[in-house]
Structure 1
């Protein structure tokens, strides 16, 4: 769900690096996918 992803981004205080790591761990995203989503 998109609102879960947005919520996590806000919980991480809009820190793109932390958010990217969360995406990789939680969703199995690779580095490019995490960067594209966070950026």
Structure 2
């Protein structure tokens, strides 16, 4: 049971990591838009 809980916790961490990755991609997109705006 503790092992299963560990596995679920790890999956939650991976999901949070995916969200972080998507957030970083959004930041990059906003940065690109700002670059184009400056040009």
TM-score (norm 2): 0.32
Choose between structure 1 and 2: higher helix proportion.
2
Higher gyration radius (CA)? 2
TM-score (norm 1): 0.32
Q: Which has the higher contact order (CA 8 A, sep 6+)?
A: 1
